[in-house]
Structure 1
């Protein structure tokens, strides 16, 4: 009896990628069944996830950037099924910056990425559960707010296509002269902070927005979220912004940021603020963010630094 095929849920922007087509062909020629489903409009990913589950597919591959990964993971979480009853998850990185893939060392070569699940076991990883607009959203990589979020949201698609991650840097430089701090109260067990911030990172993963390492010590399987709050800065430390956002060095964060590791937190803002959930902007005045341990199983390189041990 032939094993159930894998499912590749491919972002429509990459449907014509010749390297992806060649990689799919090679995987099939080696005997692995692989169904390809291309997303075109909102709701497609969830529909394809349910189709794959009904077909008892052992593996779902998110083909796209961080947003596509989160969209597929969110659809899996929405089923309500335990991680052990869901297909495993994998990533074919095809985004602009591929922040999750970069941090976890998932290969960007399409064939290598598609072959990874055959060589590494699936590991349980956490997801962020974000409640903010009366609805529940899920995030696989990182939720960000403030300066970094504005850069990511405002970077033009055409610029991203031409310049890749450099597009975020260019947009960020353009915004440096007009950073407005966001007033908020952020609290959780053992942590209570209030004031104006210019950048906020809530990490399951470590980086977003083209390499902004706002949560450089986050782990995907520790059952906790990593919080970094960069408060409004005095003139003496404004010079660290270039290092903070372009290289994400630990030293810069230690100088200017408030950091914590929590199972859940609440954010209450004076004005509606935008959280960027892996490219998906969500606006509200109050957010509740939880780290849900082991929500899905994912194939990642054995030596990724984002897994314990």
Structure 2
């Protein structure tokens, strides 16, 4: 029987965690050959993925938050090989918010997350391919723009270390008096919207920014992205605040949001817009986002809410 060969690509911020070391030791005790590589600077993830493929690794595990997952997934997506010929992808959630892992039902504990890899088969999942004025990037979870993006970009790293996902809430409250709508034209197959928006989400996964469920119906294996637009509120402010008090954030979104499920979407603006791609901000006047079906294979829990 062939010994399973995995590679854990670990975000350098989590390299000193005792629970990660214990999880790696437990995995090796179960008979898995588990290499560990720690990212330190740009380009490390790409180099480690190339090395893993050369050495015949069967599973590449991203150890970190949504940004680490996206970096590893993007590196796999840029390879010439089809998904079936590439190592499978897995995730040990070690970030501040862990939005993808939370939505997917991946265990929080590193040992349980690694154990999951040996318990379930990898299955094809979609990725988002983003062309920002000719600059191509990939996104595993969710691309967001507007108010939520500004909150995520402005949230202090020290505050995130102390408060976790609550840091995004505090930063958001501090910005409430500075929400300005962003004008844009958004279009896809049989869909067109134009106006000012305060938040926009293009989801492969359903949440970002520490639990903001922007795209609740997004699934990672259906070949579709979910688009959510929160328009400028104006006369809706009073009603929206009432809904927030009575029903919470989701009720407000249902009241004011425009949604569509599409294979691709274009976002065009006269002024540069910023989209946050799993923590990586990209600025452009023209974005084209395509859902690339089954681009990688990933180990997800059976019955995961992110699976169609």
- TM-score w.r.t. the length of structure 2 is 0.96
- Residue 252 of structure 1 is matched in structure 2 by 252
Task: Check whether the contact 1:216–1:248 (CA below 8 A) recurs between aligned residues.
Answer: no
Mean Cα deviation higher: 251-260 or 235-244: 235-244
Deviation at 1:236, TM superposition (A): 3.7
Q: Aligned partners of 1:200 and 1:272: how far apart in 2?
A: 15
Equivalences for residues 99-248 of structure 1 within 5 A:
99-237=99-237, 240=240, 243=244, 248=249
Relative distance call for 1:55 and 1:243 in structure 2 (3 A) is farther
Q: What is the CA deviation profile of residues 37-73 of structure 1, one whole-angstrom value per residue up to 9, with x for unaligned ones?
A: 0000000000000111111111000000000000000
Q: Secondary structure at the match of 2:41?
A: coil
Residue 86 (structure 1) aligned with residue 86 (structure 2): yes
Given that 1:148 and 1:209 are in contact with CA atoms closer than 8 Å, whether structure 2 keeps it comes out as: yes
Residues 155 and 168 of structure 1 are in contact (CA less than 8 Å); yes or no, is this contact kept in structure 2?
Answer: yes
The number of residues matched between the two structures is 306
CA shift, 1:31, in A, is: 1.0
5+ unaligned residues in a row in structure 1: which ranges? none
Structure 1 residues 5-35: Cα deviation after superposition (integer angstroms, max 9, x where no partner)? 2000000000000100011011111211100
Residue equivalent to 1:295 = 295
Contact 2:154–2:171 (8 Å) recurs in 1: yes
Task: Give the Cα separation in 1 of the matches to 2:66 and 2:19.
Answer: 19
3-state SS of 2:259 partner? strand
Q: After superposition, give the CA deviation of every residue in 1:130-150 in whole Å (9 maximum; x if it has no partner).
A: 000422100000000000000
Q: Does 1:18 align with 2:10?
A: no
Residue 80 of structure 1 deviates from its aligned partner by: 2.1
Which structure 2 residues correspond to residues 64-83 of structure 1 after superposition, within 5 A?
64-83=64-83
Contact 1:231–1:256 (Cα < 8 Å) also in 2: yes
Aligned CA distance change for structure 1 residues 243 and 57 (closer, same or farther; 3 Å) = farther
CA drift at 1:237 = 2.8
Q: 1:191 to 1:7 in 2, by over 3 A?
A: same
Residue 275 in 1 paired to residue 275 in 2? yes
Partners of 2:198 and 2:30 in 1: CA distance: 50
| Contact 2:6/2:57 (<8 A) preserved | yes
**CA RMSD of superposed structures (Å):** 1.6
Instruction: Spell out, residue by residue over 1:57-107, the C-alpha distance to the aligned partner (whole angstroms, 9 max, x if none).
Output: 110000000000000000001112100000000000000000001000100
Per the alignment, in what secondary structure is the counterpart of residue 305 of structure 1?
coil
* Structure-2 separation of matches of 1:66 and 1:207: 11
C-alpha deviations, 1:265-302, integer Å up to 9, x for none? 11101210100000000000000000000000000010
CA distance in 2, matches of 1:221, 1:15: 31
- Unmatched segments (≥5 aa) in structure 2: none
Residue 239 of structure 1 deviates from its aligned partner by: 6.0
Asked if 2 retains the 8 angstrom alpha-carbon contact of 1:212 and 1:247, the reply is no
Q: How far does residue 3 in structure 1 lie from its aligned partner after superposition?
A: 2.7
CA displacement 1:220-273 (0-9 Å, x = unmatched)? 0010000000000024435636949x9641x32221011000000111012101
